Chains A and B, each alone.
Chain A
């Protein structure tokens, strides 16, 4: 069974940083593109970032470009999202998902980790 488990969320002040992690199991992680998707309270889904299986290609939404970095450690089957210069509007539930790059579907999702940015 494929499982994705996010961690690292929390409460941070505006301008601060957080690093999210997503531990994957049950899939061929090193060949699987991965994505981060967020959902602000009461709002819809917003794609944030994606990365190829090798880590050589990364993608970012305009809203986070220059502030967030996506990376992966294929030896640890773990995906990361480094979030810097956080803003109040970054407050959301952050999901990691398998797939989502180059037109592919996001076929497995984690349960999410909550990020709250206070002013």
Chain B
């Protein structure tokens, strides 16, 4: 099945920009969704279809997708952004969603 690769952890200082990558074979040809999961909380959709933001998600969250890498970018990082982030695509071969392994964002 299709494999998505995320770095286990990313650290950034408050006010800086965090970039979380999601690697996959020709992932640029697929639609990528991103989820944020705070400690002890359910996941929340933060980006869908590569770069669209659900209502209520700050403009600081943005997404891009090209080639073999999709990227979630969080600008002006705040302490409240500290969470696990997961990318997800639809695997057309197996006909089901696939999640990346998740990236823990630490705000220093």
The answer to whether residues A105 and B48 also contact, given A45-B86, A112-B42 and a CB cut-off of 8 A, is yes
Determine the chain A residues whose CB is within 8 A of the CB of B96 once the complex forms.
47, 50, 59-61
Distance between Cα atoms of A106 and B86 in the complex (Å): 12
**Interface of B (DSSP majority class):** strand
Q: Within the complex, which residue of A47, A95, A108 is in contact with B97, where a contact is CB–CB below 8 Å?
A: A47
- B90 and chain A: residue at smallest CB distance: A103
Minimum distance in angstroms from B7 CB to a CB of chain A: 13
Chain B CB within 10 Å — which of A61, A100, A105 has the most?
Answer: A105
A-contacting residues, B18-45, CB 8 Å: 31, 33, 35, 37, 42-45
Contacts of A68 in B (CB 8 A): none
Bound complex: CA A100 to CA B91 (Å): 11
A interface residues, tally (CB under 8 Å): 24
Closest-CB distance, A59 to chain B (whole angstroms): 5
Q: Which residue of B lies closest to A109 (CB)?
A: B42
Select from chain A the residue with minimum beta-carbon distance to B43: A109
With known contacts A44-B99, A61-B96, A106–B42 Cβ distance under 8 A: no
List of 3 A-B pairs having minimum Cβ-Cβ separation, nearest first: A103-B90, A105-B48, A105-B33
Residues of B near any A CB (own CB < 8 A): 31, 33, 35, 37, 42-45, 48-49, 54, 84, 86, 88-90, 94-102
A contact residues vs B (CB 8 Å cutoff): 35, 37, 44-47, 50, 59-62, 95, 97, 100, 102-103, 105-112
